[in-house]
């Protein structure tokens, strides 16, 4: 049958050959200086050879003090551009589009001394208590994101995802559980989303690269954010022509345990898409071809972001197409070994 999963899809100005996107996953394999290694090039290029429509690089830090771990890739220096270009060239040569997830770990940084956050509230006892960002600090971080975007653009990437999920800096501004500020960046939802929106505005003054945003659409904790609470943010993102909202969840506060089952985060993508018309991505325990096809065919999300399943099975796309009795093109080097 002709599937929706394996049809080409236009997301903003970028045309993807299918709706399967490799989600960003920390690989902990960069050098201390955040530089790309040969391993990264092989890893990401192999997933493009495996047939995905797009590849998103792992959380890539906009500042040395914004790394989740010392093994994170970085883009805080012009020295990072050459290595990032090597990845982009290889991924695009294999037929996939390529993006980078830009990140600042905030209070979850293990390299910053001390880490920073909207409020001086630690994630848990295993992390150092963060310093509250001043207004001057906020301006510096915004510029770090802009500078990073320009380097990514120079390296030849098709799109960028801003990491606003999982308890990292942007997410901690968005959630009332971690943002207790009394100024224009705290309090109401309008104020809490100001930091992210100002980052986007500053980027768009300098670049027209396609932008995605990842959110934690549910905090899984009393008093925290829900998908419904994110609808005003989605409306603002649409005004700024953000191309896709990647709907993950959790990790903004410790000991918040979601009810996990196959596709458990899909309802968040579906609710925001239905309420706003924004393109969304579904992620989280989506492992089977039939579930992925159902999600996009029922228009609960526009793309499927696969993470660990692509670590287990780099050629998931070819096996899924065979299971769904659809046809996708194999690289010419693999044509002698069709998957039936």
- pLDDT tens digits, 215-233: 999 999 999 999 999 999 9
339 within some domain = no
1 within some domain = no
Kindly state the average pLDDT of the residues 293-315: 98
Cα separation of 240 and 199, whole Å? 11
Q: How many domains does the chain have?
A: 1
Provide the mean pLDDT of the chain.
97
41 within some domain = yes
pLDDT at 339: 87
200 within some domain = yes
Kindly state the average pLDDT of the residues 95-110: 98
Domain enclosing residue 82, as ranges: 9-334
For 171-214, what is the HEC assignment? HHHHCCCCCCCCCCCCCCHHHHCHHHHHHHHHHHHHCCCEEEEE
Place of tokens 């963060």: 130
Cα separation of 245 and 282, whole Å? 9
Cα separation of 285 and 277, whole Å? 24
Cα separation of 131 and 48, whole Å? 40
198 within some domain = yes
Q: Any idea what the CATH number is for the domain that residue 134 is in?
A: 3.20.20.70
Token pair, residue 209, equals 């690269």
- For CA atoms 12, 14, 18, 20, give the dihedral sign: negative
Place of tokens 């909202």: 245
340 within some domain = no
2 within some domain = no
Per the CB < 8 A criterion, the answer to whether 148 and 76 are in contact is yes
Q: Is the pLDDT of residue 1 over 80?
A: no
Cα separation of 112 and 121, whole Å? 15
Model confidence band, residue 248 (pLDDT cutoffs 50, 70, 90): very high
Kindly state the average pLDDT of the residues 158-166: 98
45 within some domain = yes
Between the alpha carbon of residue 73 and those of residues 23, 86, 92, 100, 169, the distances in Å are: 15, 14, 19, 10, 17
């Amino acid at each position: 049958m002709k599937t929706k999963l394996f049809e080409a899809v236009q997301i903003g100005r970028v045309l993807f050959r299918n709706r399967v996107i490799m989600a960003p996953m920390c690989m902990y394999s960069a050098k201390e200086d955040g530089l790309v290694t040969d391993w990264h090039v092989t890893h990401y290029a192999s997933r493009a050879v495996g047939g995905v429509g797009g590849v998103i690089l792992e959380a890539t830090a906009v500042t040395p003090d914004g790394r989740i771990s010392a093994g994170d890739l970085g883009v805080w220096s012009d020295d990072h551009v050459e290595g990032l270009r090597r990845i982009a060239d290889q991924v695009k040569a294999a037929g996939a589009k390529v993006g980078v997830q830009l990140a600042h770990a905030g209070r979850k940084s293990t390299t910053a001394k001390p880490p920073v956050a909207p409020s001086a509230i630690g994630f848990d006892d295993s992390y150092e208590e963060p310093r509250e960002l001043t207004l001057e600090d906020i301006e510096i971080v915004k510029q770090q994101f802009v500078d990073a975007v320009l380097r990514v653009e120079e390296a030849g990437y098709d799109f960028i995802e801003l990491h606003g999920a999982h308890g990292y800096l942007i997410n901690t501004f968005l959630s009332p559980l971690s943002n207790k500020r009394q100024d224009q960046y705290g309090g109401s939802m309008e104020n809490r989303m100001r930091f992210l929106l100002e980052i986007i505005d500053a980027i768009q003054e300098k670049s027209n690269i396609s932008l995605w945003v990842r959110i934690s659409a549910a905090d899984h904790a009393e008093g925290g954010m829900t998908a419904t609470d994110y609808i005003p943010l989605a409306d603002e993102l649409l005004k700024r022509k953000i191309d896709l909202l990647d709907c993950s969840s959790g990790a903004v506060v410790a000991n918040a345990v979601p009810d996990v089952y196959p596709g458990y985060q899909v309802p968040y993508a579906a609710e925001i898409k239905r309420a706003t018309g924004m393109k969304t991505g579904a992620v989280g325990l989506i492992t089977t071809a039939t579930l992925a096809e159902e999600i996009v065919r029922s228009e609960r999300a526009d793309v499927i972001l696969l993470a660990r399943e692509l670590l287990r099975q780099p050629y998931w796309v070819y096996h899924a197409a065979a299971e769904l009795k659809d046809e996708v093109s194999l690289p010419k080097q693999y044509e002698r070994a069709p998957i039936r």
